[in-house]
Structure formats: C-alpha cells, structure tokens
C-alpha cells in the first residue's frame, strides 16, 4: 500500500497570512484542495493523510476533503510545532500495510499526478530508500555574510533544489523519525532525516513550476498558473 502524507500545518507567517496559507483561495478553491486533488486522482496512491494547522482541522475536513469529494483521505490530524513533528503525526495514523510513504508539502498546489506517479515508480526502479523530486540549480550562488557582503561564489555543479513529493520505503522513514525523536533533532525535509539514518536518496528531476507557495508573490503566480490550467482543461 502506498500512502501520501500532505503536510499543511504551517502558519503562513512569511506569506502574510498569519492564520495559515493552506486555505487561501487559488483559482476559486483553497490552496490545499488543488494539492489534494492531484493525489486523489493519482492511481499510484492508495490512501491520504492530511496534517494541518491545529485550529483548522474541521475546516480542512469540510472545505478541502468534502469540497473536493476526495475518497482516499483516511485521516486529517493536527500538526506539530515543527515540520518533522508534523510528518511524525501523519506517520502515526497511516494505515496498516503501508509500505511506501509519499510526503508532500500542501503548499505546492501545482503538483501533477504524473509527477507523483513517476516518483513512486522510481523508488523501486532506482533501488533507493528514498526519491526526491527537484531540479538542478541554474542560478549563480553567493555565500553572503551577515553584513550583506559576498564571501564567495559557490560552485553550483552538482547542486540541486530539493522539492516534494519525496517518496520513501515506510520502514526507512519510520526508522529515521524514531532516530530524530530520540536525538531531539529536526530537519527541513524528510530526506535529510533518512540520509542521517544511513539511507540512500536519489534525486528525480521534476518541473520547475512545482514551487512552494511561501511569499505573497508566490500566491499570485500560483493563482495565475492554476487559472491557466483550468482554461486549458487541467493537467494529467
């Protein structure tokens, strides 16, 4: 069984939406609804767990799950104080028999079912413990001091931007989270936890527009792209 955990417990501070950005409207629907629909429509996904802002659990069930008619959602739970703790909360309620876990940021509403399907398929074909969707860095990178002065220009060869979805063997992801809990450690993504636990991670190149909505201008860009998709008849 393949289970997806949609992490949507952020408070949206950087976006200027202090009560959480996941419910902000994009192309006429809550942001999280677009994300959920891609996983609901992906044949590779059997079950979905949503981890959301604690005060919006019921709203998520009503506006997002019922609003999209999603049938694969098995639980909507409150997130923790960090991303790592939020994913751990999702892991606790994944169904018995789940042997592959797909973790995705709820604030990446432009994800498509085809990318999810490819990432899941790559886990087995590449023989890794985890697969991370992302893309190579194309911009020039600078190391900058606290005063804004450039310290060095960083060689971008071999550097990638890590996004989500991130697909893991469930046993490896659970082991990594147990280790993180024991050590009191945290990370900005689950691949870092699996790496620290000795797991092997492979990058899979995905579309560059699969960005995370973080700032106000990201909301405008995502809204425009989703509206264009609707006009063009959706995406596979």
What's residue 17's pLDDT? Answer: 55
Mean pLDDT over all residues of the chain?
A: 93
> 2-232: which CATH topology?
Spore Coat Polysaccharide Biosynthesis Protein SpsA; Chain A (3.90.550)
Query: Which segments of 150-215 does DSSP mark as H helices, in order?
Result: 170-183, 190-196
What's residue 101's pLDDT? Answer: 98
What's residue 232's pLDDT? Answer: 85
Dihedral sign for Cα atoms in the order 114, 120, 121, 127? positive
**Beta pairing partners, 50:** 6, 76
pTM: 0.93
- CA distance linking residue 236 with residue 228, whole number of Å: 14
Tell me: pLDDT of 19 over 60.
Answer: no
pLDDT in tens, 199-230: 999 999 999 999 999 988 999 999 999 999 98
Cα–Cα nearest to 136, from 171, 162, 104: 162
Query: pLDDT class for 236, splitting at 50, 70, 90?
Result: very low
Tell me: pLDDT of 27 over 80.
Answer: yes
- CA distance linking residue 193 with residue 89, whole number of Å: 15
Tell me if 121 sits within 8 A of 132, measured CB to CB. Answer: no
> Residue ranges per domain, the chain?
2-232
């Amino acid at each position: 069984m393949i289970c997806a955990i949609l992490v949507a417990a952020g408070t949206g501070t950087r976006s200027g939406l202090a009560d959480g950005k996941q419910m902000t409207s994009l192309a006429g629907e809550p942001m999280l609804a677009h994300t959920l629909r891609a996983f609901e429509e992906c044949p590779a996904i059997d079950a979905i767990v949503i981890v959301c802002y604690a005060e919006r659990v019921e709203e998520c069930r009503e506006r997002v799950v019922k609003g999209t008619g999603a049938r694969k959602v098995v639980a909507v739970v409150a997130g923790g104080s960090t991303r790592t703790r939020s994913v751990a909360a999702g892991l606790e309620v994944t169904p018995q028999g789940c042997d592959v876990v797909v973790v995705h940021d709820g604030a990446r509403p432009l994800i498509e079912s085809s990318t999810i399907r490819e990432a899941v398929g790559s886990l087995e074909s590449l023989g890794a413990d985890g697969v991370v969707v992302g893309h190579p860095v194309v911009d020039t990178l600078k190391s900058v001091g606290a005063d804004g002065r450039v310290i060095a220009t960083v060689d971008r060869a071999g550097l990638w931007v890590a996004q989500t979805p991130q697909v893991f063997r469930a046993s490896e992801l659970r082991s990594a989270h147990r280790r993180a809990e024991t050590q009191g450690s945290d990370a900005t993504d689950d691949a870092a936890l699996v790496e620290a636990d000795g797991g092997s991670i492979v990058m899979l190149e995905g579309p560059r527009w699969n960005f995370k909505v973080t700032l106000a201008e990201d909301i405008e860009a995502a809204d425009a792209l989703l509206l264009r998709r609707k006009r063009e008849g959706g995406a596979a």
